[in-house]
Structure 1
Amino acid sequence: MSWIAFTFLAAFMQSWRNAFQGKLSRDVNAAGVTLARFLWAGPIALLYLVGLYHWQDAPLPTWNIVVVSYAGGAALMQILATGLMVLLFQQRNFAIGAGLAKSEALIAAMLGTVFFGTQLSLLGWSGVLVGGVAIFLLSSKAGWRQLSLKTLVIGLASGASFALTSLWVREASLSLDLPYTHRAAWVLFIVITMQTLLLLVYLGWRQRQTLVQLWQRPKLVGATSLFSCIGSIGWFSAMSMQTVPYVKTLGQIEVLFTLLIAHFWLRDKLTRKDIAGLILIAVAAIMVMWG
């Protein structure tokens, strides 16, 4: 059941990372905020990988075209997904759009079943569906009538991109003959390295001013990278042990952490709809853990 602990860690860290990204997006464009997520995560991921080998000896991985293809696809898809999420920060209907992006668990369940041989129990499918209802309930405070076509497209595209990222990360991890912690750490390091190099080359070529803006905000960029990397360690480790739909449905507990941060740090009030949504998330989490 270690995947549950890793998922809780990932969700908690991601809620803070999103808060830092949202703040950074006020002054930096989508590509720059996306790079901030990965910029210092590579060295952190490398330290984590070295620490794992000191803690538990294991062989070095044998790389092949399958692992590299899945890792490369996941790297590109996560860049796209993160960029789309940052664009949602700039939409008037951000809450609804973010809810659509959280359709990742349901999309991953459908894609995984059709293309990756993912098998879910009836209770598991029920948990995924309940979690989807909870997310849409929490994100529709302003009413679905205010949902624009642009927000709808960006939100669903972001959710689908995150779903493919997670599915490909799991496939890359399962292709390595290592302990689950080591294979997850190797895939994480490779994916982050690819993402960082790609974005640095692109921004250095097309948007050098964006790199200057990131350089001028070292604390915010560092916090974004740190919390992102720790969250990714949690996600990658959990997905190396458990199917993606279960992990992502349980990971919706992130919404609880986000609302708690908003309530105690920003002094926002919880509504009855918030409470109802949180209860449904708790029900969904119990169902996928039992499923």
Structure 2
Amino acid sequence: MPVWITATILAAFFQNLRFLLQRHLKVTTLSTMGATWARFAFSMPLVVVALGLWLWISGQSLPAVTPAFWTYACIGAMGQMLATACVVTLFGRRNFAVGVTLAKTDVVLSAGLGLIVLGEAVSVPVMVAIFVGFAGVMLLSDPPKGEVALTIWARLFNPASGYGLLSGLLFGLSAVCYRGATLNLTGGDELLRAAVALLVATVVQTATLGLWLAWREAGQIGRVLASWRVSGLMGLTSMLGSLAWFTAFALQTAAYVKALGQIELVFTFLVSALWLKERSSSKEIAGAVLLVVSVLIIFLGALA
């Protein structure tokens, strides 16, 4: 099995665990931005340790950095940070499974952004998958009971769908930029380049959002630090998942990595049904199935 496939499956698994822990923090003790910052603040020291260990074990030196690397890494970091905030906000509007599934529109958007930003074209099957995935989003965008929406326009542009689609756009942008960042490091193996790019992104995210919290949400940083038991575990799953994502981006185009990464939906619905005891409607399940079909089309196209 290609390394990028293994890395992507691991990334999806750890990301699902991280979303679950982040949801817990959001609905119990922290604000949206506090729960978002906790992920970066607690994962950053672990990234430093992981990078140092790999440099020592592999005997490599740090890769050379190009000017384009900093641009890609910083834009990707900001996009991922804002996308994460959108997902955390969305958890308060729809159940766990639907919240994560709406964010998975990034697979569709990554294909277009990859072509525009990096010139990485997609095949005809990917275009077919875009329409299949859009149909799934339409089904998932129905608001919950109590929120009346009679038209297609209203179903698509309700607040829950807005947060989900915006998070998908921002996650897609960050994925393409992270691939661009790893491609603009010279020297070292894929894991080393992934770790360096991840460290830079995490430092930018921790510093930027930390300053925002200190300015706009007094006391929130203290609450984050007080939640170290859950936040520390979330930081570990975040570091493992992000390192796997970055490794996959170093090996394969963002569109294909994100396509396969939607295997996370399987993990998400299992957690939603078996652990959180949440119930999904028939339309939500049908929408998720269409998104999974979209994943399979793109995945098979990648192997062709």
Whether the aligned pair in 1 keeps the contact of 2:259 and 2:299 (CA below 8 Å) is no
Equivalent-residue separation in structure 2 for 1:140 and 1:21 (angstroms): 24
Q: Which residue of 2 aligns with 1:87?
A: 89
The whole-number CA distance in structure 1 between the counterparts of 2:289 and 2:81 is 32
- Map 1:121-160 to 2 at 5 A: 121-134=123-136, 137=139, 140=142, 142=144, 145=149, 147=155, 149-160=158-169
Q: Please tell me the root mean square deviation across aligned C-alpha atoms, in Å.
A: 2.7
Match of 2:57 among 46, 55, 58: 55
Q: Which of 184, 197, 216 matches 2:226?
A: 216
Aligned with 1:25: secondary structure?
A: helix
| Alignment partner of 1:206 is 2:216 | yes
**CA deviations over 1:83-119 (Å, ceiling 9, x no partner):** 1222212225886665443211111111222332112
TM-score between both structures, scaled by the size of structure 1? 0.88
Contact 1:96 1:140 in 2 (8 A): no
Give the structure 2 partner of residue 16 of structure 1: 17
CA positional deviation for 1:151: 2.9
Residues 3-59 of structure 1 show CA distances to partners (whole Å, capped at 9, x for unaligned) of 111111111111111111111112211110110111111111122212222332323
Q: Structure 1 stretches of 5 or more lacking a match?
A: none
Deviations 1:100-152 (CA, angstroms, capped at 9, x unpaired): 43211111111222332112222343345445544654665848937453333
Letter of the 1:169 partner, please give it: Y
Unaligned runs of 5+ in 2: none
Q: Take 1:242 and 1:217, find their aligned partners in 2: how far apart are those partners?
A: 36
- Does structure 1 conserve the Cα–Cα contact (< 8 Å) formed by 2:141 and 2:160? no
Tell me, what secondary structure is at the counterpart of 1:40? helix
Aligned residue pairs total 291
SS in structure 1 of the partner of residue 208 of structure 2? helix
Q: Does 1:251 align with 2:233?
A: no
My pick for the range that moved more, 278-287 or 249-258, is 278-287
Aligned partners of 2:90 and 2:163 also within 8 Å: yes
After TM superposition, list the pairs within 5 Å mapping 1:91-102 onto structure 2: 91=93, 98-102=100-104
What corresponds to 1:165 in structure 2? 174
Match of 1:36 in 2: 38
Are 1:236 and 2:238 matched, yes or no? Answer: no
Contact 2:4 2:247 in 1 (8 A): yes
- Identity of counterpart residues, as a percentage? 34
Letter in 1 for 2:173: L
